[in-house]
């Protein structure tokens, strides 16, 4: 409707935000009211500077007080202050159902979130097929395309009483047929590369094909990559930058305190 196109650079994203704001639309929704989404922008703006640093950070080999982390928080703070996320008082109480209504009513233009959100669209009666996606541009323009995935191990106990049966069950669960049924039921893209992509909605199929064919580097989400003893309490601290956009250094220090308590100072 506004004649805008997806950005391919960080400056392009900022320009898109300015154009949307000028048209009276909040560029980006952030459902901080649900608590856990506080980590989404935090992780994105770290690995979009240096993915290797990100992986060292989440296992305690780097500090959350590092300049790269503070820069990520500062960048979020600057976006808050320019109105990229709209009224901070609204952002702090925004929940996913409220966010969905805002997208449908065109009060918000975008949201940085997993494609599982399509299930929430369906539950609210909205047409997810009317929406498209793009890969968020990197802060470091020398990096290739990066995308988060929620990944973790699927394991069976090697010393359990029924190891063979357990492995057979896992094989059956990961088969194309089982994964297609599961993914279609809850609105996810297929996890088995042999699945029939034509069963997916067009925007989902293009997402899966892009990941499989366009050389996109998949980054493990911080919720899975970091120890729960750190990331669970840290998520609400990370989200505080939306209320305290000038406090990047102190927020980074508080997150590091949680990491020190687990990894050891």
pLDDT band at 188 (very low <50, low <70, confident <90, very high): confident
Dump pLDDT digits (tens) for 59-71.
Answer: 999 999 999 999 9
Mean pLDDT of the chain: 94
Dump pLDDT digits (tens) for 100-127.
Answer: 999 999 999 999 999 989 888 877 778 8
Instruction: Report the top-level CATH class of 10-143+226-263.
Output: alpha beta
- Residue predicted with more confidence, 127 or 6: 6
pLDDT band at 265 (very low <50, low <70, confident <90, very high): low
**Under 8 Å between Cβ of 77 and 245:** yes
Q: Which residues contact 185 (CB under 8 A, 6 or more apart)?
A: none
Q: Which residues contact 105 (CB under 8 A, 6 or more apart)?
A: none
pTM, two decimal places? 0.92
Residue 186 has pLDDT above 70, yes or no: yes
């Amino acid at each position: 409707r506004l004649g805008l196109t997806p950005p391919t650079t960080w400056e392009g994203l900022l320009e898109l935000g300015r154009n949307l704001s000028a048209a009276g639309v909040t560029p980006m929704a952030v459902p901080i009211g649900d608590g856990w989404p506080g980590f989404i922008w935090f992780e994105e703006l770290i690995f979009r500077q240096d993915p290797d640093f990100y992986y060292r950070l989440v296992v305690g080999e780097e500090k959350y007080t590092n300049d790269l982390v503070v820069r990520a928080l500062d960048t979020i703070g600057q976006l808050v202050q320019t109105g990229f996320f709209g009224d901070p008082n609204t952002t702090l109480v925004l929940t996913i159902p409220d966010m969905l209504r805002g997208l449908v009513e065109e009060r918000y233009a975008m949201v940085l979130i997993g494609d599982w959100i399509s299930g929430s669209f369906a539950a609210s009666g909205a047409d997810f097929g009317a929406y498209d996606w793009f890969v968020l541009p990197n802060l470091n323009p020398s990096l290739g395309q990066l995308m988060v995935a929620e990944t973790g191990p699927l394991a069976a106990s090697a010393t359990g009483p029924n190891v063979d049966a357990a492995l057979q069950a896992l094989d059956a669960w990961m088969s194309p047929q089982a994964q297609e049924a599961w993914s279609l039921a809850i609105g996810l893209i297929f996890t088995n590369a042999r699945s029939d992509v034509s069963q997916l909605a067009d925007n989902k199929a293009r997402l899966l094909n892009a990941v499989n064919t366009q050389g996109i580097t998949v980054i493990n989400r911080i919720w899975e990559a970091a120890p729960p003893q750190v990331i669970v309490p840290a998520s609400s601290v990370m989200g505080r930058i939306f209320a305290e956009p000038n406090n990047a250094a102190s927020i980074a220090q508080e997150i590091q305190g949680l990491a020190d308590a687990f990894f050891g100072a």
